[in-house]
Structure 1
Amino acid sequence: MSTEVGRKALAELVGTAFLVAAVVGSGIAAQRLSPRDPGLQLLENSLATGAVLVALILALQPVSASFNPVVTVVETILGDVPARTAALLVAAQLVGGMLGAVVANLMFGLDGVSIASHHRGGSGLLVGEVVATLGLVLVVFGTLRSTRPDAVAYAVGGYIAAAYWFTSSTSFANPAVTLARTLSDSFSGIAPGSVLPFVLMQLVGGALGALLVVLLHPPVEAR
């Protein structure tokens, strides 16, 4: 493994860890600060998640700032990241996500691991995950292929903060984050039995998003 690939993997691990720590930690804080108001809990959770995404992407984009296996796979499909490198980055994202969930639990005085009991299912939520992930892929790669690629942090942070509200699933849109959220039985948790359908729908959304990116932003020689 080259030094450059190692740096990318470390950036993905650290970035995904902080992202999940923000998602889970703000969810726990929201439960405690607004115990009788689920709408306010979601607002607090969404604002923290959107804000931390902006900060993390700005800080780590010069190295690697996908923090999402679907985004990394799409990068490979589009020819931006070699498959072997992508496999390492996805592994780093998965490990980082689980680490972030454990740290968030510990910060709030909970057991490091508490398996989530919040079952999330039904056709509406699964459609929501397709929409959320499709939109995320379109926003990420549409912005990167625009005349303002430096704006991707703000585009992604804004999209996710909004998608918490306009998708029925509250926009998980990330297999690493979805898996990590099984480790916290709190506001943002998801029961292990709900993970596979969510991840499958995220992959479907990612594939549809990649197709849209290719259709809307063809290579220069194909225009």
Structure 2
Amino acid sequence: MLTWLTRDSLTFPPLEKALHDPNGLLAAGGDLSPERLEQAYRHGCFPWYQDGQPILWWSPDPRTVLLPGELHVSRSLAKLMRQGRYQVSFDSDFPAVIAACAAPRDYEGGTWITDTMRDAYCELHRRGIAHSVEVRDGGQLVGGLYGLAIGQLFFGESMFSRADNASKVGFVTLVEHLRQAGFVLIDCQMPTNHLHSLGARAISRAQFAQYLAQHLDQPNSATWVC
């Protein structure tokens, strides 16, 4: 039975209450306040819904993740990064990155990044919880991604690319940055060929919950400067 959230409580149901069909639907309702969003990621779920739907909260099983030490960089991608064609920065233009991620794409019928969601994550960015990666070519923004950094875990949300391999360059740069700062896991949420090519794999919801319990409140040494 699906749990409906009220605005008065930030409490989510246990992860094992998530539905099997659709896979991982845990709750509906509530709001996108910064406090609720942070609590959601700490609990192991995330919002994903379309305009006109109630806010839907998900915790899929299995969960797609990437361990920094398992990052796979192909020879062609490594060569591209050595060439220095793209310039990568962190937190230099979060609003532009999330706007680009929200833009319509040819292979999708619409966007799940609603205006309300954009505003909510921009507030998380102002609070130092959400971060962006910008990839530029000659000063033009051609790729990027954003997500949340809590403890030693990074929760990836969305990425975009307007040039060949631009999002991959941004992602690889981010993973190396996180590895050096003591992060142990990047949450990729759902599987894609793009992520699997970089070394992402599936773990059970129970395993993911163990990472949350062990690493959410552990320190990291990440600095988010351009």
Normalising by structure 1, we get a TM-score of 0.28
Normalising by structure 2, we get a TM-score of 0.28
Name the one with the larger helix percent: 1
Name the one with the larger strand percent: 2
